[in-house]
């Protein structure tokens, strides 16, 4: 896989950064995106220290114009694209009756529309190359639901339907499209959850520990490797036994 070219959206911290690090360790050149330019640049320097090229770009995946710029950046620096990891995601948690329209729009636009916009651009390059690996980040809550996460779980369930349909459209073109449904992974996103709720979640995990970004990164490495070339349209559950798909 050395020399392949990848995008990791939301690669500036958390799961996305762990994925970008793992790709760089394999000699894969990476572009990471995020909203905070300073954080993106410092993450890119750390990722590049693994020995491959890493560029950072401030790009909001929910905005078609930013995604267009991102793919111009890909063409300029890489000329081709082998791997797209649709990882950028946000939560705006609240009980349904307190959900505001702007929160609904923000989560759906980042998590779902962002995945659609980046995939559409990536597919244009990958279809020409007759090769591509796309991995989308879903979540265990797409399957089990979670009180207070109506918008987020809807967005993550939508990603699964999207993944399956794109996989079928491009199955004959050398492009695989799969999703990963993480359980509870320790990152800034989950650090915000109140301690009491975290304890409840921990009690629901048969392995008795939270997952790490590395657990997700290792699954990504499998899904982009030749070992998984006959796997498409699937969701891989990485959750310590929290939900058995």
Ligand X SMILES: NC(=O)c1ccc[n+]([C@@H]2O[C@H](COP(=O)([O-])OP(=O)(O)OC[C@H]3O[C@@H](n4cnc5c(N)ncnc54)[C@H](OP(=O)(O)O)[C@@H]3O)[C@@H](O)[C@H]2O)c1
| Cα 195 versus chain centre, distance | 26
Out of 143, 152, 170, 230, which one is annotated catalytic? 152
Q: Is 170 a catalytic site residue?
A: no
Cβ proximity to ligand X: between 143 and 184 the closer is 184
| Cα 179 versus chain centre, distance | 8
Cβ proximity to ligand X: between 16 and 132 the closer is 16
CA distances from 38 to 6, 43, 56, 137, 153 (A): 21, 9, 10, 24, 30
Give the tokens for residue 29.
């050149």
Give the tokens for residue 215.
């657990």
By CB under 6 A, residue 187 contacts ligand X: yes
Please state, as a whole number, how many other Cβ atoms lie within 10 Å of the Cβ of residue 173: 15
Question: Where does this chain touch ligand X (CB under 6 A) — which range of 96-104, 166-174, 186-194, 200-208?
Answer: 186-194
For residue 50, the minimal CB distance to ligand X (Å) is 18
Query: How many residues touch ligand X (CB under 6 A)?
Result: 29
By CB under 6 A, residue 60 contacts ligand X: yes
* 233 backbone φψ class: left, alpha, beta (φ>0; ψ -120 to 50): left
230 vs 245: CA distance, rounded Å: 20
Q: Residues 135 to 164: which contact ligand X by CB under 6 A?
A: 137, 139
By CB under 6 A, residue 182 contacts ligand X: yes
37 vs 33: CA distance, rounded Å: 9
Q: Which of 4, 12, 52, 163 binds ligand X (CB under 6 A)?
A: 12
Residues β-bridged to residue 83: 6, 133
8 vs 109: CA distance, rounded Å: 17
For residue 90, the minimal CB distance to ligand X (Å) is 5
By CB under 6 A, residue 36 contacts ligand X: yes
Q: Which of 39, 50, 92, 173 binds ligand X (CB under 6 A)?
A: 39
Cβ proximity to ligand X: between 18 and 230 the closer is 18
Q: Residues 80 to 109: which contact ligand X by CB under 6 A?
A: 87-90
Enumerate binding residues for ligand X (CB under 6 A). 9-10, 12-16, 33-36, 39, 60-62, 87-90, 110, 137, 139, 182, 184-185, 187-190
Which residues are the active-site residues?
152
């Amino acid at each position: 896989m050395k020399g392949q070219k990848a995008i990791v959206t939301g690669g500036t911290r958390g799961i996305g950064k762990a994925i970008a690090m793992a790709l760089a360790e394999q000699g894969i050149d990476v572009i990471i995106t995020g909203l905070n330019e300073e954080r993106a640049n410092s993450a890119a320097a750390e990722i590049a220290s693994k020995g491959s090229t890493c560029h950072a770009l401030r790009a909001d995946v929910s905005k078609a114009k930013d995604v267009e710029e991102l793919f111009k950046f890909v063409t300029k620096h890489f000329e081709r694209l082998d791997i797209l990891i649709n990882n950028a995601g946000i939560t705006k948690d609240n009980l349904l009756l307190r959900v505001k329209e702007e929160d609904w729009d923000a989560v759906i636009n980042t998590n779902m529309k962002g995945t659609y916009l980046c995939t559409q651009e990536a597919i244009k390059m990958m279809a020409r190359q007759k090769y591509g690996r796309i991995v989308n980040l879903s979540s265990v809550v797409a399957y089990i639901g979670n009180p207070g996460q109506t918008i987020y779980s809807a967005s993550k369930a939508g990603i699964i339907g999207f993944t399956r349909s794109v996989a079928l459209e491009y199955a004959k073109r050398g492009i695989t499209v799969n999703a990963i449904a993480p359980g509870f992974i320790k990152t800034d996103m989950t650090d915000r959850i109140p301690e009491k709720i975290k304890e409840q979640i921990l009690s629901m995990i048969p392995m008795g520990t939270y997952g790490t970004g590395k657990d997700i990164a290792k699954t990504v490495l499998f899904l982009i490797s030749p070992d998984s070339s006959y796997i498409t349209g699937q969701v891989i559950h990485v959750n310590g036994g929290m939900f058995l798909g």
